[in-house]
Amino acid sequence: MRQFTLISFDLCPFVQRSIITLKRKGIRFKICFIDLANKPDWFLKLSPTGKVPLLIVKQSGQPDEIVFESAVINEYLDEVNPPALMPADALVRAKHRAFIEFTSQLLVIQYKLTHAKSAEDKATHTNELKKQLARLMNEVKLPLFAGANFSLIDAAIAPLIMRQRLIDREWNLDVIASNETCRKYAKNLLQRPAVRGSVIHGFAEKYIASIRQSGGF
């Protein structure tokens, strides 16, 4: 029997991807929060990249194993806990993997937006995010990414959408509202129990506060 411990930072979108996967598949797990500004020595010894999430896998009679990088963690969890959330067709599965990576790049653009140092930077990153999000939404079948069934790519996109909805509301932006498919997808995705339950209590307030404290425009 496998036991899972997820090493986490409470505002990390990549950790949230793995929490969503764990919850969606009904997997029991423990979570351990660390401070990324003051990483403990034991964590640095375990993590080749020094980043979260990190999954510790315990199996009876065997040494603990470490899995890192959220996309890899999620595919591992999916493979050892059926039924699968990834498509059965190899080509479709490859496309999902590619767009999961694409979504990671959108999180980078979103981070740049929240840390913009001028009105010009803010406008540049807002427009770029709209453009790339529209590209992603062209692939969405609704009600979720691939239609009716929740898949790993939905788990990957959810942290981006959740954060952008908060950003749009707090700073009067229209990144999500500007795209009809994104509006519908966001509504369907964020009402999922695994998504709603994937963040800490008071997440919205803490996330917005972290942006304000960063000194961005």
What residues are labeled active site? 12
Please state at what angle helix 70-80 crosses helix 152-171, rounded to 10 degrees.
Answer: 140
Q: Please give the structure tokens belonging to residue 148.
A: 């009716």
Check: CB of residue 148 under 8 Å from CB of residue 115: no
Check: CB of residue 23 under 8 Å from CB of residue 34: no
Check: CB of residue 18 under 8 Å from CB of residue 74: yes
CA 91 to mean position of chain CA atoms: 23
Distances (CA, A) of 195 to 23, 54, 101, 152: 8, 19, 19, 12
**In the structure, how many helices (H) and strands (E) does the chain have?**
9, 4
Check: CB of residue 29 under 8 Å from CB of residue 5: yes
CA 13-146-193 angle, 5° bins: 50
CA 68 to mean position of chain CA atoms: 14
